[in-house]
Amino acid sequence: MDELEGLECLIALSELDARKRELDALAAALPAELEKRENELDARQEELDQLQRVLEEKQRERRRLEASVDDKTQLLAKYRAQLESVKTNKEYQSLQSEIKVTREQISDTEDKLLELLEGIETTRRSIDERRRGLEELRAEVTRANEEARARLRDVEVQLVEVEEKRERLIPTLSQPVRAGYVRLFERYQGGAFAVVADGVCQGCYVNIPAKVVADLRSGAKLYRCESCGRFIFSVVPD
């Protein structure tokens, strides 16, 4: 095989390698994307559970306050019944004072209860709202994840195809070029090629001699960067 054929083969390989890198990056990013969405769902569910616990706590407090109002109301009735049978003025005044204190306590508790009921209502609305939001998000995540899984399967199929094409191309390279390519592919994790732009190798940012750049532009010769060893191509500006 002459050098030019080798060059064409390398160009085809460089395109496959670039595609492979893109696909590898996609395949690596997709599971993280799925996980991120699942985590977001978990966080929102946790917020909702937390709010549910707050509501339960408020309901317990409500029952406690209601029981307290009942107790005090019974106490008040008892004091009032006792008023019928008091013998002395002192006893009467003392009972009246108890009645006054108890009524104030009932009134205070009822105020707290009213405030608490408003709080319960607000929490309940907030829970309903969040629950709806969570359901919407869950549907969205399910859809997005299904789509991402389908994309991942597609990427995996494409990767196999690219891999097969590479396997077919590599043996057609001349032995030294092939050996160089395989080494570079491993060393630079698939980046065996570099573009030369403005006379600079974009793999290592070292200047390429003008003579080499001119040859690259004519596309007639196979070169490797003297600094990083990558096969280099020139991109002629449009």
| Interaction site with Zn ion (CB under 5 A) | 201, 203-204, 225, 227-228
Residue 75 or 228 having the CB closest to Zn ion = 228
Quote the least distance from Cβ 47 to Zn ion, whole Å: 52
Nearest in space to 225 (alpha carbons), one of 189, 196, 191 = 196
Nearest in space to 13 (alpha carbons), one of 129, 123, 168, 141 = 168
Match 């940012």 to its residue by tokens. Answer: 205
For 85, 158, 198, 230, the CA distances from 188, given in Å and listed in that order, are: 102, 22, 22, 9
Quote the least distance from Cβ 194 to Zn ion, whole Å: 5
Q: Which residues contact 206 (CB under 8 A, 6 or more apart)?
A: 200, 225, 226, 227, 228
Residue 162 or 225 having the CB closest to Zn ion = 225
Quote the least distance from Cβ 230 to Zn ion, whole Å: 5
Quote the least distance from Cβ 155 to Zn ion, whole Å: 29
Residue 180 or 203 having the CB closest to Zn ion = 203
Q: In what order do the strands lie in the sheet with 200-201?
A: 200-201, 193-197, 231-234
CA-CA distance, 162 to 20, in Å (whole number)?
A: 7
Helices (H), the chain: 3-84, 89-169, 175-187, 210-218
Residue 155 or 225 having the CB closest to Zn ion = 225
Quote the least distance from Cβ 13 to Zn ion, whole Å: 17
Quote the least distance from Cβ 202 to Zn ion, whole Å: 8
CA-CA distance, 221 to 201, in Å (whole number)?
A: 16
